[in-house]
Amino acid sequence: MSMTFEALCTSLESKPPVRLQVQDLSVTYSTSKGPVRAVSQINFDVEPGTNFGLVGESGCGKSTVVKSLMRLLPDSAKVGGKVLLDGKDVLAMDRKALAAVRWTQIALVTQSAMNSLDPVFTVGDQIVESIRAHVDVSHAVAWARAEQMFAMVGLPAERLREYPHQFSGGMRQRAVIAMAFSLNAGLLLADEPTTALDPIMQDQIMSRIRDIQQRLHRSMVLVTHDIAVVSETCETVAIMYAGRIVEMGPTRDVLNKAYHPYTMGLQNAFPRIRAKGESKPPLISISGGLPDLLHPPKGCRFEPRCPFSTERCRAEDPELRPVGTVMAACHHIDRAEEFRRAALKAETWRVEEDVQ
d(CA 157, CA 143) in angstroms, rounded, equals 10
Q: What is the CATH number of the domain that holds 139?
A: 3.40.50.300
3-state secondary structure of 52: strand
Q: 328 pairs with which residues across the strands?
A: 247, 321
Give the per-residue pLDDT at 356.
36
Q: Is residue 327 part of a domain?
A: yes
- Report if residue 266 sits inside a domain: yes
Same-domain status, 103 and 174: yes
Q: Is residue 307 part of a domain?
A: yes
Q: How far apart are CA 37 and CA 78, in angstroms?
A: 10
Q: What is the pLDDT of residue 17?
A: 87
Q: Distance (Å, rounded) from C-alpha 68 to C-alpha 91? A: 8
Same domain, 52 and 132: yes
d(CA 226, CA 212): 20
CA atoms of 116 and 174, how far apart (whole Å): 12
Report yes or no on 242 lying in a domain.
no
Same-domain check for residues 220 and 255? no
Q: Do residues 166 and 299 share a domain?
A: no
- 260 in the same domain as 221: no
- For residues 266 and 320, membership in a common domain is answered with yes
Does residue 121 belong to any structural domain of this protein?
Answer: yes
Predicted pLDDT at 202: 79
How many domains, in total, are found in the chain?
A: 2
The answer on 13 and 82 residing in a single domain is: yes
Residues of the chain predicted below pLDDT 70: 1, 113-114, 196, 271-281, 351-356
Residues with Cβ within 8 Å of 50's Cβ and at least 6 positions away in sequence, in order, are 219, 220, 235, 236
Residues 120 and 262 in one domain: no
Q: Are residues 216 and 71 in the same domain?
A: yes
Q: Are residues 300 and 191 in the same domain?
A: no
Looking at residue 196, its pLDDT comes to 67
Whether 26 is covered by a domain: the verdict is yes
- pLDDT at residue 355, rounded to an integer: 39
Neighbours of 356 (CB within 10 A): 6
Q: Which ranges in the chain belong to alpha helices (H)? A: 5-13, 62-69, 95-101, 113-116, 123-132, 139-152, 169-181, 199-216, 227-233, 251-256, 261-268, 311-315, 336-343, 352-355
The amino acid sitting at 53 is G
Per the structure, the complete domain to which residue 88 belongs is given by: 5-234
Asked if 196 and 327 sit in the same domain, the reply is no
- Specify the pLDDT at position 1: 58
Per-residue pLDDT, 205 = 80
Which one-letter amino acid corresponds to residue 275? A
* Distance, C-alpha 284 to centroid of its chain: 24
Same domain, 28 and 86: yes
CA distances from 196 to 99, 199, 240, 256 (A): 30, 9, 22, 28
Would strands 236-241 and 244-250 be described as parallel, antiparallel, or unpaired?
A: antiparallel
